[in-house]
Structure 1
Amino acid sequence: MIIFSSATKTAALLFSFLLLFMYVPVIAQTNTSSIKGVVVTADGRPAPFVTIGLQKLGIKTVADKNGSFVLEQITAIEDTLYISGIGFIPYKQGLQIAAGTAINLGVIQLQYYTAQLQDVEITGRIAQSYKSDYSFALTKTQSAVKDMPQSVSTVTKELMKDKMAMHLVEVLDDVPGVCRYSGFNEYSLRGLHAENPPLINGLRAYNSQLTNPMLVNLERIEILKGPTSVLYGNTDPGGTVNLVTKKPLQQHEHAIDILTGSWNNFRAQGDVTGALNTSKNLLYRLNAGYENKESFRNQYFAKSFQVAPSFSFVPNDRIQLNLDISVTHTNTVADRGQPGFEDDNNLLSTPIQLMVTQPGDYLKETNVASILSFSYKLNKHISFNSAYLNYITRQQLSEHGIEDFITDDSVYLYYTNRTANTTTNTFTKYFNFTFNTGKINHQLLAGYDYIKNKVDFTQWNGEDEDFGEETGIVGTFSLKNPVYFKRPVDEYEREEEEEDEEEGGFEAEQYYTHGIYIQEQLSIDKWKILASLRQEIFRSTGDDKIADNVLMPRVGIVYALAPNVNVYSTYNRGFDPFEPSARLQVFNEPFKPVLSEMFETGVKADLFNKKLSATFAVYQVTLDNVVVNANDPSNPDLYTQRGRERAKGFEAEANGNILPNLAMSLSYAYNNAKIIESVKPEEIGIIKENAPLHMSSSRFKYNFTKGILKGFGISAGHTQVGRRNTFDANLQLPGYCILNAGVQYSFSRFIVACNLNNIANTTYFTAAYNNISKWPGAPRNFMLRVGYHF
């Protein structure tokens, strides 16, 4: 017989108790259940960070970045599974959960809201695709793109990120009918010069032209084709760029990207969003970015940053309030182009790296945008919307440029020092009424806009007494054998800019404009009709006063050939006075306003189960009193007015994800933009400057989801632009085709990607005024990105 000591008995009891303690949860675990699945969007892409839960048990979780989820520790019960997320129709599914079972629900597809969600855009877009399903910009109401009787092209944040783009100019090459007009922030839209300020969330900002907007806080970029004056007053006849900012999301998301590339390019971006309270009606988002880069251009550099917080307050389904703020600062130089030799139209007589900019030159610009948006639903049929934008620009410019030629390859230099302070205030208020008369659905909109812009402007030009008085010359520079050194700016004699119209001078001015408009959208069976009318009252102050009252109509019609195919036609008129800005103007009397009209017809379709959006448009735009650069190399900011132009052609584009792991963006444009009337008879009948006949672009991205390559992705694309005329009748820019490719690898919450641009190292020119002011494109270059999402 074995006798145990008391210590041994105690140890045995404790051991037995531990075994029992460990065994109890095992028994419990075998009696509990689990549920797992994968949530995807309507177009088959993962739906990350949506909320999944069980109503009765109160258990919930959040899907990971791939849309996968697991609910554990579930007791036997009959319950309802729910899935919710911003921008999705709530999903519910009844479940009978037996004890000790593992339920795999497989793939669950969520549908996007197709009805109007917001009267003004307050909360963010959750879809992740090259395709955008809706826009506010063309009607001031949330409308499906295929239901709008006018062409709208969109660049989504997903395409911006895949291209690793930081500035507007880097992504507009993907838009049909859009190319660069110069090296500044001006473009050719449908062959017509576009230099007006972009809209920010549908509100007029300001365009200093010398810097390019950063993309850090942008959700998407919308290019509204043709005149849009009926809603926004004075706009460019070829089209209007609308920058749509990112809005807060309910779920917490954080992302950071570090990028580096050719020419010591360094970039960093961050994006955080979520709710500030438990009821999730007070939301925030903060976007920030920094860039420090050099260039293949030998005197170019840029240091820029942007900080952009956004707040949304949605206390109930009647009130929506949003505040957007953006502060951007850029320290760089003004790139006036690659100069060539005098009377020599060889584009490569000088290297593409050459700049006349001297060490110590600078361009410093700060832009502050503050936007307050408010929407209130009086009842289910009437809503009131109001928005206000305050946009402040502070610009300082110090630069040397070409005054005149000494010999074929040597030049005199001028020096300019400029300070421009501008303030733009934009108000918009409108009522939205929805009602029915019999079988006809009405959406009536009536509103008022007010825009005021003030420019305070000072400038002085330098002189060196060694070159004589009133010569405007401060030194010399060899284009053939350039030598750069810091010029003695502090020793220059100051020649104050005179306000003499005959000499091309100006004084600081301001303009303001009032707009009253009404818009009706009718729907009956397969037909949709859009009719708008706007009365614009434009005034500018100063010696050269402008006073214009213009009545502008718009009529459009849409017919549904099939559930996902619409045909449309529209007639539109536009108006654009040459408002005061930070540049000189050549005129003996105030410029006449640019007047335009457009006819457009086309087809819009949602293909592949609404995963791909396609548009085909045919158009003709005619405009009178055209304003163009004066083509004066010694004074590159001078403008003059000539006559009538007409652009006609067609555009085709397709964007979306035809497979969950295959994204694509395709475009082609044929545009014939001619000068019909001109103060220079020799210009009549020729193709406009910087207006190619043919343009095309493509981008494909494929992600591997199975096998040993799972997590890898590849991309490829091109940008093609045809031959272009310039302001010099003897100089034509050759066409070009640039090939780009990329590779990426995603794992856990990380992504590593690399893009190679201009693979063939093609030498090309993006735009030119003449052989003195022409802008070469970048040689072969790369960009590497490391991102973390948590």
Structure 2
Amino acid sequence: MSSGPSLAAHRPFVRHPLAHAVVLACLACAALPAARAQTAAPAAAVQVDIPAGTLDQVLNRFAARAGFMITIDAALTAGKSSPGLAGRYGVADGLSTILAGSGLQAVGQAGGGWLLRAAPAQAPAVVQADAAALPTITAVANQLGEVTEGSGHYTPGAIATATRLVLTPRETPQTVSVVTRQEMDDFGLTTIDEVMAHTPGVSIVTYDTERTEYFARGFAIQNFQYDGIPMRRDSSYSAGNTLSDMAIYDRVEVLKGATGLLTGSGEPGATINLIRKKPTREFQGQASLGLGSWSDLRGQVDVGGAIDEAGRVRARGVAAYQHKDSQLDGHERKTAVLYGVVEADLTPSTLLTVGADLQNNDPTRSTWGGIPIFKADGSFNDRPRSFNNGADWSHWDQYTRTVFATVEHFFDNDWVLKAQFNHQINGYDAELGSAASGFPDPLNGSGVSTWEGKYVGKTVADALDLYASGPFQLLGRRHELVAGGSLSKRRWTNRGYWAGSTEIADYDAWNGRLPEPDWDALTPSRNRETTRENGLYGAVRWNLRDDLKLISGARVLNYDGPDIDESGVVVPYLGAVYDLDKRVSLYASGTTIFMPQSAQTEAGKTLDPQEGRNLEAGVKAEFFGGRLNASAAVFHLKQDNYAEATGGLTPGGGTAYRAIDGVGTKGFELELSGQLAPNWQLHAGYSHKVSRQDGKKVSTLTPENQFSLYGSWKPAAVPGLTLGGGTRWQDKTWGDVSHPTLGTVRHEVDGYWVVDAMASYSFSPRLTGRLNVTNLFDKKYYTIFSWYSTYTWGEARAVALNLDYRF
């Protein structure tokens, strides 16, 4: 099963005892204060410097710093601001100072955590008492950052994807694009494909009905994370990553550039981090039903709350099911999702989280590749958008199974110790047949043959991550450190059956009817590969001045895979942020990532790993207390040590390679997300990139320029009404494809605009209806996959109606 074009490329990583010592010293620094700390609730005084902002933003940042949870009704804090908080405060004192004069009070819970409610007359801002029932919209901070569910915003609060340090976007010296829960809900984004279409700087290439590839900065995105735990995707044997349903996720973060500090090995373009929903202390429930074009039927239930009276144990469950046909004749997909998670306060300072999720994707009449680009006479093979090259028995089932557990412990010196385990299965069962090879004769329909193959396999991955994070004092200033280690094991097994091909008598009359091969009569090829990675990592956020922060770190990585054994590979990280004022900062960073390879020279020596390096500089700003974030960045990304065939052989008789300069990408990105006005949310971005190898443009299946803008507005004159819409544009793309008479030619695809629209109305505080229209003007466009010399039509106009009931 072929994959998309791989972009690789030179220069070995540093292996030096000093670098090992740096990381080990970081670990020692982390262990020492933690060992001296006495276990206690995170109520001891902490040093904070939180700028002025909206009340909920300041509360969430204080919660993240002090290590506690707070439940907030967004309606209570709407329109309220806070001057911020600076100095050393305990939790109660800090909350009292922040809430002074707000008319609100924080009520402590017996099981830990706080609830925010309207304060009775003359009541204190902080009380230790049982809370009255509150509405169930919440905003919670944790070690993954700030929960976006219930915030009402299109921009995130604090995030931790880059370094595990919980920082705001402005404090993070890399470009991070986030699609929040509110944006997903407003635009009905139920799949990760739809989320990526809203993400600035990310483009999508469609291979077939069950397989897409995401690209950023000229490289395919193969690095995925789930709650910060890495999982690598193989697009050749796609197994659920790009079919992920969004029902169970709070937000999706895309960290641009090389991300080796936390992911270890991978490609340098970007990493996608999917953050799961978390339980709430108060009971909340939601049921939704959706109907849409092509017999799209979707139902979803989401229920959670405290299990015991004290609220020490909290749980949440999500179930979703969707049955949808498509614009392609005979194609449909059934998607089933289940998710459950339980949080338990083992002590007031120790939090245990355990959970599991599963997803099944069962399609009918899947395609394999797209439509041949050319007819036999060299003209464009213009087929209707409903054309399906798949056989009537063709299907590519994909499934995921995950079990995870996390323990977090807070110490009284502001340190946090966190351990996380993840067991994940990504599997596939594909019996594929498609009429996608050749060039159809416009006169009699001959000239096309099928691909027929069966592939059954799965990847079983186990990952463990342990780290400590907290402040320390040096030279009279307070700095932050994170240090930890991780290990993972991935085992891929596969059986492949190739049945050959069948000549199609009349391509113009193709309807999918094709005899299914006798798979049991074929001898399968088998794959069994095990990959192990482990490493130590550390990063320090140096507080050089009040307006200047430097983040330095590294990862020492060991990698053991098929025909590859690399140890002691050092992956460095360096970034700096300079505050021009309380709203605007300049930043620069240099990040790297490591990718082993098994290619050998003619002398039999394995080539050094590929190294991805990302140099980035820019300006970031936050306004309205972090409700609006803006960024502008220039970047230069390079992947070195690319394997090029020499024409000779290795001593074992295999193809020999040499290392050459790889792909380099230069470009810039602009992004704006959040609240422009009290009733106006916006997420917009523009990106430009040019990728070259040996002076020749590459990665041209993705656009050099692209733009996206999505927003929603709540007119004050019509309470309960939300109107929204958006557009995305990309310029031309091209690729080298097979031509029936000219051999290999460049095929160019025109740029295009796609416009979407939405409207929702709250009939009551519990019942909301929403209408979404995608591709409003029914723009007809396509993307190509040059590896197969095929193209795929984009989706036509679609309408979806959804009813959401909260209880």
TM-score range, shorter chain: 0.7 to 0.9
Task: Provide the residue aligned with 1:562 in structure 2.
Answer: 581
Q: Are the structure 2 counterparts of residues 534 and 722 from structure 1 closer, same or farther at C-alpha, using a change threshold of 3 Å? A: same
Q: CA deviation at 1:430?
A: 1.3
Q: Pick the aligned partner of 2:342 from 311, 329, 354.
A: 311
Q: Say which SS state the counterpart of residue 588 (structure 2) adopts.
A: strand
Q: Does 1:416 align with 2:453?
A: yes
Instruction: Say whether the 8 Å CA contact 1:257–1:785 is kept in structure 2.
Output: yes
Q: Which amino acid aligns with 1:752?
A: G
In structure 1, C-alpha distance between the alignment counterparts of 2:598 and 2:565, rounded to whole Å: 9
Q: Are the structure 2 counterparts of residues 535 and 46 from structure 1 closer, same or farther at C-alpha, using a change threshold of 3 Å? A: closer
Any idea what the Cα deviations from partners look like across 1:614-672, whole Å, max 9, x if unmatched?
Answer: 111111101124589xxxxxxxxxxx998511111111111112223211111111111
Q: Does 1:192 align with 2:219?
A: yes
Instruction: Say whether the 8 Å CA contact 1:731–1:771 is kept in structure 2.
Output: no
Q: Which amino acid aligns with 1:777?
A: G
Task: Provide the residue aligned with 1:300 in structure 2.
Answer: 331
In structure 1, C-alpha distance between the alignment counterparts of 2:75 and 2:146, rounded to whole Å: 24
In structure 1, C-alpha distance between the alignment counterparts of 2:643 and 2:516, rounded to whole Å: 37
Q: Pick the aligned partner of 2:748 from 724, 728, 732.
A: 732
Q: Are the structure 2 counterparts of residues 702 and 626 from structure 1 closer, same or farther at C-alpha, using a change threshold of 3 Å? A: farther
Q: Pick the aligned partner of 2:155 from 131, 149, 157.
A: 131
Q: Which amino acid aligns with 1:372?
A: A
**Between 565-574 and 176-185, the greater mean CA deviation after superposition:** 176-185
Task: Provide the residue aligned with 2:105 in structure 1.
Answer: 82
Any idea what the Cα deviations from partners look like across 1:162-200, whole Å, max 9, x if unmatched?
Answer: 12122101111222210013332421111222223x100
Task: Provide the residue aligned with 1:532 in structure 2.
Answer: 553
Q: Pick the aligned partner of 1:757 from 774, 791, 801.
A: 774
Q: Does 1:351 align with 2:362?
A: no
Q: Are the structure 2 counterparts of residues 112 and 557 from structure 1 closer, same or farther at C-alpha, using a change threshold of 3 Å? A: farther
Q: CA deviation at 1:65?
A: 7.1
In structure 2, C-alpha distance between the alignment counterparts of 1:626 and 1:294, rounded to whole Å: 42
Q: Say which SS state the counterpart of residue 626 (structure 2) adopts.
A: coil
Q: Are the structure 2 counterparts of residues 154 and 407 from structure 1 closer, same or farther at C-alpha, using a change threshold of 3 Å? A: closer
Q: Are the structure 2 counterparts of residues 178 and 236 from structure 1 closer, same or farther at C-alpha, using a change threshold of 3 Å? A: same
In structure 1, C-alpha distance between the alignment counterparts of 2:175 and 2:378, rounded to whole Å: 38
Q: CA deviation at 1:331?
A: 0.4
Q: CA deviation at 1:112?
A: 11
Task: Provide the residue aligned with 1:657 in structure 2.
Answer: 675
Tell me the number of residue pairs that the alignment of Structure 1 and Structure 2 aligns.
Answer: 665
Q: Pick the aligned partner of 2:254 from 203, 207, 223.
A: 223
In structure 2, C-alpha distance between the alignment counterparts of 1:287 and 1:300, rounded to whole Å: 27
Q: CA deviation at 1:391?
A: 0.4
Q: Are the structure 2 counterparts of residues 337 and 93 from structure 1 closer, same or farther at C-alpha, using a change threshold of 3 Å? A: same
In structure 2, C-alpha distance between the alignment counterparts of 1:579 and 1:166, rounded to whole Å: 38
Q: Does 1:720 align with 2:729?
A: yes
Q: Does 1:512 align with 2:532?
A: yes
**Between 416-425 and 720-729, the greater mean CA deviation after superposition:** 720-729
Instruction: Say whether the 8 Å CA contact 1:43–1:660 is kept in structure 2.
Output: no
In structure 1, C-alpha distance between the alignment counterparts of 2:249 and 2:377, rounded to whole Å: 43
TM-score (norm 2): 0.76
Q: Pick the aligned partner of 1:392 from 425, 433, 437.
A: 425
Runs (5+) with no aligned partner, structure 1: 1-40, 48-60, 69-79, 98-110, 463-471, 498-505, 581-587, 629-639, 678-683
Map residues 614-629 of structure 1 onto 2, 5 A cutoff. 614-625=630-641
Any idea what the Cα deviations from partners look like across 1:720-748, whole Å, max 9, x if unmatched?
Answer: 11111224351122111101112221111
Q: Does 1:144 align with 2:176?
A: no
Q: CA deviation at 1:84?
A: 5.5
In structure 2, C-alpha distance between the alignment counterparts of 1:205 and 1:553, rounded to whole Å: 21
Q: Which amino acid aligns with 1:174?
A: H
Instruction: Say whether the 8 Å CA contact 1:81–1:95 is kept in structure 2.
Output: no
Q: Are the structure 2 counterparts of residues 509 and 710 from structure 1 closer, same or farther at C-alpha, using a change threshold of 3 Å? A: same
Task: Provide the residue aligned with 2:126 in structure 1.
Answer: none
Q: Which amino acid aligns with 1:267?
A: R
In structure 2, C-alpha distance between the alignment counterparts of 1:538 and 1:304, rounded to whole Å: 35
Q: Are the structure 2 counterparts of residues 479 and 689 from structure 1 closer, same or farther at C-alpha, using a change threshold of 3 Å? A: farther
Q: CA deviation at 1:512?
A: 0.7
In structure 1, C-alpha distance between the alignment counterparts of 2:292 and 2:665, rounded to whole Å: 39
Q: Say which SS state the counterpart of residue 171 (structure 1) adopts.
A: helix
Q: Does 1:599 align with 2:620?
A: no
Q: CA deviation at 1:479?
A: 3.2
The structure that has the greater radius of gyration is 1
Q: Say which SS state the counterpart of residue 173 (structure 2) adopts.
A: coil
Q: Which amino acid aligns with 1:722?
A: D
Q: CA deviation at 1:756?
A: 1.3
Q: Does 1:154 align with 2:190?
A: no
Instruction: Say whether the 8 Å CA contact 2:367–2:433 is kept in structure 1.
Output: no
Instruction: Say whether the 8 Å CA contact 1:276–1:282 is kept in structure 2.
Output: yes
Q: Say which SS state the counterpart of residue 774 (structure 1) adopts.
A: strand
Instruction: Say whether the 8 Å CA contact 1:341–1:479 is kept in structure 2.
Output: no
Q: Are the structure 2 counterparts of residues 96 and 398 from structure 1 closer, same or farther at C-alpha, using a change threshold of 3 Å? A: closer
Q: CA deviation at 1:232?
A: 1.6
Report percent identity of matched pairs. Answer: 20
Q: Which amino acid aligns with 2:219?
A: L
Q: CA deviation at 1:558?
A: 0.5
Q: Are the structure 2 counterparts of residues 158 and 513 from structure 1 closer, same or farther at C-alpha, using a change threshold of 3 Å? A: same
Task: Provide the residue aligned with 1:242 in structure 2.
Answer: 273
**Between 472-481 and 751-760, the greater mean CA deviation after superposition:** 472-481
Q: Which amino acid aligns with 2:231?
A: A
Q: CA deviation at 1:339?
A: 2.6
Q: Pick the aligned partner of 1:203 from 226, 229, 237.
A: 229
Map residues 175-186 of structure 1 onto 2, 5 A cutoff. 175-183=199-207, 184-186=211-213
Instruction: Say whether the 8 Å CA contact 1:454–1:511 is kept in structure 2.
Output: yes
Instruction: Say whether the 8 Å CA contact 1:299–1:358 is kept in structure 2.
Output: no
Instruction: Say whether the 8 Å CA contact 1:42–1:112 is kept in structure 2.
Output: no
Instruction: Say whether the 8 Å CA contact 1:122–1:312 is kept in structure 2.
Output: no
In structure 1, C-alpha distance between the alignment counterparts of 2:691 and 2:533, rounded to whole Å: 30
In structure 1, C-alpha distance between the alignment counterparts of 2:701 and 2:524, rounded to whole Å: 34
In structure 2, C-alpha distance between the alignment counterparts of 1:125 and 1:488, rounded to whole Å: 47
Q: CA deviation at 1:120?
A: 5.1
Instruction: Say whether the 8 Å CA contact 2:776–2:797 is kept in structure 1.
Output: yes
Task: Provide the residue aligned with 2:299 in structure 1.
Answer: 268
Q: Are the structure 2 counterparts of residues 412 and 757 from structure 1 closer, same or farther at C-alpha, using a change threshold of 3 Å? A: same
Q: Does 1:326 align with 2:334?
A: no
Q: Which amino acid aligns with 1:331?
A: D
Any idea what the Cα deviations from partners look like across 1:55-95, whole Å, max 9, x if unmatched?
Answer: xxxxxx99797989xxxxxxxxxxx9635699989578572
Task: Provide the residue aligned with 2:572 in structure 1.
Answer: 553
Q: Pick the aligned partner of 2:478 from 423, 432, 441.
A: 441
Instruction: Say whether the 8 Å CA contact 1:288–1:307 is kept in structure 2.
Output: yes
Q: Which amino acid aligns with 1:394?
A: G
In structure 1, C-alpha distance between the alignment counterparts of 2:180 and 2:310, rounded to whole Å: 30
Task: Provide the residue aligned with 1:700 in structure 2.
Answer: 711
Q: Which amino acid aligns with 1:242?
A: N
Map residues 14-25 of structure 1 onto 2, 5 A cutoff. none
Q: Does 1:778 align with 2:795?
A: yes
Runs (5+) with no aligned partner, structure 2: 1-51, 59-70, 79-102, 124-136, 645-656, 738-744
Q: Say which SS state the counterpart of residue 160 (structure 1) adopts.
A: helix
Task: Provide the residue aligned with 1:73 in structure 2.
Answer: none
- Superposition CA RMSD, Å: 3.4
Instruction: Say whether the 8 Å CA contact 1:255–1:789 is kept in structure 2.
Output: yes
Q: CA deviation at 1:267?
A: 1.1
Q: CA deviation at 1:326?
A: 0.7
Task: Provide the residue aligned with 1:11 in structure 2.
Answer: none
Q: Which amino acid aligns with 2:712?
A: K
Q: Which amino acid aligns with 1:352?
A: R
User: Taking CA–CA contacts closer than 8 Å with sequence separation of 6 or more, which of the two structures ends up with the larger relative contact order?
Assistant: 2
Instruction: Say whether the 8 Å CA contact 2:178–2:253 is kept in structure 1.
Output: yes
Q: Which amino acid aligns with 1:567?
A: L
Q: CA deviation at 1:688?
A: 2.2
In structure 1, C-alpha distance between the alignment counterparts of 2:368 and 2:466, rounded to whole Å: 39
Q: Pick the aligned partner of 1:647 from 662, 665, 677.
A: 665
Instruction: Say whether the 8 Å CA contact 1:273–1:285 is kept in structure 2.
Output: yes
Q: Which amino acid aligns with 1:671?
A: K
Instruction: Say whether the 8 Å CA contact 1:669–1:695 is kept in structure 2.
Output: yes
